[in-house]
Chains A and B, each alone.
Chain A
Amino acid sequence: GQNIDQPTEMTATEGAIVQINCTYQTSGFNGLFWYQQHAGEAPTFLSYNVLDGLEEKGRFSSFLSRSKGYSYLLLKELQMKDSASYLCAVRDNTDKLIFGTGTRLQVFP
């Protein structure tokens, strides 16, 4: 079967760094995506990894290890507006995105 695991909830302090992990087992692999979703809103694209290594984009970075079926999203210099759910998704061999259940991040002052 297909399975994507992420922690359910995380908390952090404003200005800190937080790492959200994602492990996956899917039918094929054609890339891993991270999305941010504020409550009641649509997910918005954050990052895409298809090769092993780190992709950096401003305060956000995403890492991928295909051999380990593992990714993480790193958020630096946390701001209150970063309080949201973060969704890990893998594009499988049928070209569909399979989503994890999401990690709800709460940032406290």
Chain B
Amino acid sequence: DGGITQSPKYLFRKEGQNVTLSCEQNLNHDAMYWYRQDPGQGLRLIYYSQIVNDFQKGDIAEGYSVSREKKESFPLTVTSAQKNPTAFYLCASSPPGYGYGYTFGSGTRLTVV
């Protein structure tokens, strides 16, 4: 079955550590996105990539980094520069064309301990 896989489902990070969240899709979608969700704040865009080897900052990119070396993969690194990283992180993908929405992964809940 085609879909998006995010791992791990739960992640604990010590202050000062970098962590990488995995996102893999086998839908052959060109575009991929990372969102952060905090209670009462909806989904906020961190980074997005519309083609391989290219990505753009979203609204809240500070303290995060990404890479897009393969069409299927769009990992997100939460660096120690991100001051408040505890949140629910969602990865999504979409095919080209305006009539299509996003397909979301199941999310990673990151907690700083």
Interface residues of chain A, those whose CB is within 8 Å of chain B, are 8, 30-31, 33, 35, 40-45, 48, 50, 87, 89, 91, 95-97, 99-102
Contact B105 A42 (CB under 8 A): yes
Contact B48 A100 (CB under 8 A): no
CB < 8 Å: which of A31, A42, A100 contacts B90?
A42
Name the CB-closest residue of B to A43.
B104
Given A41-B107, A42-B106, also A97-B90 (CB < 8 A): no
Chain B CB within 10 A, most for which of A35, A42, A44, A99: A42
Q: B48 to chain A: which residues have CB within 8 Å?
A: 96
Q: B16 to chain A: which residues have CB within 8 Å?
A: none
CB distance from A97 to the nearest CB of B (A): 6
Contact B90 A43 (CB under 8 A): yes
Contact B105 A91 (CB under 8 A): no
Contact B106 A97 (CB under 8 A): no
Interface residues of chain B, those whose CB is within 8 Å of chain A, are 31, 33, 35, 40-45, 48, 50, 58, 88, 90, 98-99, 101-107, 109
Query: A45 vs B99: C-alpha distance in the bound complex, in angstroms?
Result: 12
Q: A30 to chain B: which residues have CB within 8 Å?
A: 98
9 tightest Cβ-Cβ pairs between the two chains A and B? A101-B42, A42-B104, A99-B43, A30-B98, A33-B101, A99-B42, A45-B101, A42-B106, A43-B104
Contact A96 B45 (CB under 8 A): yes
Query: A89 vs B90: C-alpha distance in the bound complex, in angstroms?
Result: 15
Q: B104 to chain A: which residues have CB within 8 Å?
A: 42-44
Contact B31 A95 (CB under 8 A): yes
CB distance from B96 to the nearest CB of A (A): 8
Query: A44 vs B4: C-alpha distance in the bound complex, in angstroms?
Result: 13
Query: A97 vs B98: C-alpha distance in the bound complex, in angstroms?
Result: 10
Contact B101 A48 (CB under 8 A): yes
- Beyond A30-B98, A95-B31, 5 additional pairs, beta carbon < 8 A: A40-B109, A42-B90, A50-B99, A87-B42, A89-B43
